[in-house]
């Protein structure tokens, strides 16, 4: 059976549109919380293929989503480069921050695929269990976003440490970005070889960059990743998600050979339809908080998104990851509204 999501990535329109949610495996699900408690730490869960596969499948089973997204994290790449990465409950990720050039020169220049082997194994397990109509998505973080966590050692309100680093020592920062480009390419290629049907590149922090820096640290490295992945896997399907790109999204889709782009909830829908969806299929863009609120506000938001994008190639999703407070009934309400 055809995977509807993949037909959209090929440029077709589907009615109703395929639906999945960014961060759909996670703490808003009681079955996730139960398994997470059994597995121990977050990385223990990520690197235990049977558990990670189960967590990947949980939201698909419960909601009948059109895609499963591999359960892992963007920060397994710095981990596989030799940087200490921990996830503490309530605090999010913590890494040993990279203060200067010498600090990242101590890291490996290539990812250790032995460290990432359990992730590829998870993909193989999920692939066997997934219904043929459901697509399996792999992913990585974009170099800018991953570098911003590597430098700050954690999430910050506007990733100031990485922005400062890039201004003060652009040459050193470019070396780090190059390492991450290579690492991301080999990581994505292995995910595709293990059975991922498409991959998404999350650039969560793209929106804090001014246009010239956005060109240099978001568009250029992501373009290289897409081209290098295609050189090894010619029919690879790639979804780009430069969150907060705003008007720069037009530039992004001009330069980066992606099969679709994720739209965040802040973007003007008219602009996105005329300037973006006219070039590539789009995915998005409900505000994760309207899914928390539910009620009439949710119905209106779903209608507005469908009205704007469902006449063309479109994948319904959020404009960023689902938040742990999201009530399960609101997801059911949203699905009913979309699928009728």
Clarify whether 187 is annotated catalytic: no
122, 71 Cβ separation under 8 angstroms: yes
Is residue 79 within the footprint of ligand CP3 (CB under 6 A)?
no
HSE-CB at 219 with a 13 A cutoff on CA atoms is 18
74, 145 Cβ separation under 8 angstroms: yes
Is residue 25 within the footprint of ligand CP3 (CB under 6 A)?
yes
Considering only 70-78, 223-231, 258-266, 303-311, which stretch makes contact with ligand CP3 by CB under 6 A?
Answer: 70-78
Dig out the tokens for 228 from the structure: 């290098």
- Size of site (CB under 6 A) for ligand CP3: 23
Residues with Cβ < 8 Å from 59, sequence gap 6 or more? 21, 24, 25, 29, 65, 68
Which member of 39, 75, 180, 192 binds ligand CP3 (CB under 6 A)? 75
Q: Determine if residue 172 is left, alpha or beta; phi over 0 gives left, psi from -120 to 50 gives alpha, anything else beta.
A: alpha
List 317's β-bridge partners, or say none. Answer: 285
Which member of 4, 5, 23, 331 binds ligand CP3 (CB under 6 A)? 23
In the set 36, 190, 223, 224, the catalytic residue is 36
Clarify whether 62 is annotated catalytic: no
Closest CA to 323 of 24, 20, 5, 15: 24
309, 273 Cβ separation under 8 angstroms: yes
Is residue 86 within the footprint of ligand CP3 (CB under 6 A)?
no
Which member of 74, 152, 176, 194 binds ligand CP3 (CB under 6 A)? 74
CB of 173 to ligand CP3, least distance (A): 19
x/- site string to ligand CP3, residues 281 to 320, per CB under 6 A? ----------------------------------------
> Between 237 and 273, whose beta carbon lies closer to ligand CP3?
237
Considering only 84-92, 178-186, 259-267, 327-335, which stretch makes contact with ligand CP3 by CB under 6 A?
Answer: 84-92
Clarify whether 251 is annotated catalytic: no
CA gap 200, 187 in Å, rounded:
12
Output b/e per residue, 14-30; b: 16+ Cβ within 10 A: bebbbbbbbbbbbebbe
Q: Which of positions 147-176 make contact with ligand CP3 (CB under 6 A)?
A: 155
Q: Which of positions 92-121 make contact with ligand CP3 (CB under 6 A)?
A: 92-93
Rounded to 10 degrees, what is the CA torsion of 250, 256, 262, 267? -20
In the set 28, 32, 73, 120, the catalytic residue is 73
Q: Which of positions 41-60 make contact with ligand CP3 (CB under 6 A)?
A: 42
CB of 71 to ligand CP3, least distance (A): 5
HSE-CB at 271 with a 13 A cutoff on CA atoms is 13
Dig out the tokens for 253 from the structure: 């889709």
Considering only 73-81, 166-174, 222-230, 329-337, which stretch makes contact with ligand CP3 by CB under 6 A?
Answer: 73-81
- Which residues are identified as catalytic? 23, 27, 36, 73, 149
Instruction: Note the residues at the interface with ligand CP3 (CB under 6 A).
Output: 22-27, 36, 42, 69, 71, 73-75, 87, 89, 92-93, 139, 141, 155, 202, 204, 321
């Amino acid at each position: 059976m055809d995977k509807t999501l993949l037909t959209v990535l090929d440029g077709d329109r589907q009615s109703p549109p395929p639906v999945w949610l960014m961060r759909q495996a996670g703490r808003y699900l009681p079955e996730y919380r139960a398994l997470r408690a059994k597995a121990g730490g977050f990385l223990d869960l990520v690197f235990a293929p049977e558990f990670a596969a189960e967590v990947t499948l949980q939201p698909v089973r419960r909601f009948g989503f059109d895609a499963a997204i591999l359960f892992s994290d963007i920060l397994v790449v710095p981990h596989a480069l030799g940087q200490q990465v921990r996830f503490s409950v309530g605090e999010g990720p913590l890494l040993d921050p990279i203060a200067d050039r010498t600090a990242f020169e101590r890291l490996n220049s290539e990812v250790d695929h032995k460290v990432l082997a359990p992730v590829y194994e998870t993909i193989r397990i999920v692939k066997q269990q997934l219904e043929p109509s459901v697509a399996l998505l792999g992913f990585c973080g974009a170099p800018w976003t991953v570098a911003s966590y590597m430098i700050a050692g954690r999430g910050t309100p506007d990733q100031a440490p990485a922005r400062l680093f890039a201004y003060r020592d652009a040459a050193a920062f470019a070396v780090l970005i190059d390492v991450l480009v290579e690492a991301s390419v080999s990581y994505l290629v292995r995910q595709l070889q293990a059975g991922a049907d498409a991959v998404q590149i999350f650039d969560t922090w793209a929106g804090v960059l001014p246009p010239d820096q956005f060109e240099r640290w978001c568009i250029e490295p992501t373009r290289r990743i897409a081209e290098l992945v295609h050189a090894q896997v010619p029919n690879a399907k790639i979804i780009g998600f430069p969150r907060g790109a705003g008007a720069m999204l037009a530039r992004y889709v001009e330069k980066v050979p992606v099969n679709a782009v994720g739209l965040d909830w802040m973007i003007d829908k008219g602009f996105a339809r005329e300037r973006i969806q006219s070039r590539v299929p789009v995915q998005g863009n409900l505000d994760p908080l309207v899914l928390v609120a539910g009620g009439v506000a949710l119905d209106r938001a779903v209608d507005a998104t469908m009205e704007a994008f469902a006449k063309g190639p479109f994948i319904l999703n959020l404009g960023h990851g689902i938040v742990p407070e999201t009530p399960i009934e609101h997801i059911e309400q949203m699905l009913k509204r979309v699928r009728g």
